[in-house]
Amino acid sequence: MRTDLAEPLKVSDTPAYPLESVAVERVSGIAPERFAREYMTGWCRPVIVTDATDAWPARSEWSFDFFAQRYGDRRVVVTDRLVRPTVARRVAFSEYMLYCQMPFATALGQVAAPAPFYLTGFSPLSWDPELLEYFSDPYFIENAYRRQLSGPLLNWYFDNFSWLFIGPKGTLSPLHVDLFGTHAWLAQVHGRKHFLLFSPRDAPYVYDGQVDFFRPDLDRFPLLEKARPVEAILEPGEVIFIPANWSHQVISLDASISLTMNFATAGNFVAHLMAICRDLPLWIKRIDTPAFREANGARWTSRDLAPNDSPEGGA
């Protein structure tokens, strides 16, 4: 196994982070047991695995032209931000693929927006199962819960926990924590991305993600100086592991195609379940679908879980 120890990161073609940071470690050839022991216990640690996609057909076949030819007539919604967008457009998939490569050669590129347009909520793995043949679970992660699913339940999982992020240079994901206490892996298929990640211990210093951490305003947000980000440039073919409850912000350095999946293991399953319980109204919306109910033999709907305000209602 090769391990590159964390050292200060020096990057010339990306917004400079002005505070002290350390680089994400890079490893290869790591066994799942060792990975779980070293990176998925306690507070956990992010890490980049450099050889996890070596056997993926997606590495050589997924491209902007590939997706344009396959889904060119579909209409998709693109926005200037993944969270709280200010500008949105519905365009043909083929037009957006061209925009990703040559933004100003398309009508979309002439639309005034504060940031490049990003494809939002794109989860085609359920409605095109053939895409599953182009990748596999990273060898270093035991995602046993996902492997137990099939048919409609597997489709539901991909709809809610896996996405393709496709966009031009400069697309930005603001600081956020992934949903329901899940871990995540993100594989970089095309282009590069710049990551800033913050441990849960830095939560008091990151102002609930109100800051652009690549250009932080230290006068307005002085506690930022107490945060110690972990920083990485993710190269094509690499996979980054993002532990549960780690805040992260990402910017694309090139036109980019990424595949990401959220997951739970035995180590974070209880915390994942508790997060679901805390956000039960949101979770009910995700599972109250005919396909999910039929696959599970469920006879209830979300209306059955509404509060009973009548005097005869039970505790």
Between CA 156 and CA 150 the distance in angstroms is: 10
Label residue 304 left, alpha or beta by phi (over 0 means left) and psi (-120 to 50 means alpha).
alpha
pTM of the model: 0.82
Contact 40, 265 (CB under 8 A): yes
Q: Whats the size of the chain, residue-wise?
A: 315
Instruction: Say which residue the tokens 């680089």 belong to.
Output: 23
**CA gap 86, 84 in Å, rounded:** 7
Question: Is 78 buried (19+), middle (13-18) or exposed (0-12) by CB count in 10 A?
Answer: buried
- Torsion, Cα of 204, 208, 212, 214 (10° steps): 40
Confidence of residue 238 (pLDDT cuts 50, 70, 90): very high
Pairing, β 2-4 against β 193-198: unpaired
Does 313 score more than 50 pLDDT? no
pLDDT band at 146 (very low <50, low <70, confident <90, very high): low
Tell me the one-letter amino acid at 209: G
How far is residue 160's CA from residue 272's CA, in Å, rounded to a whole number?
14
| Chain-centroid distance, C-alpha 227 | 22
pLDDT (tens digit per residue) in 97-128? 999 999 988 999 999 888 899 987 788 787 78
Distance CA 161, CA 163 (A): 7
Domains and CATH numbers, the chain: 2-9+21-149+162-269 (2.60.120.650)
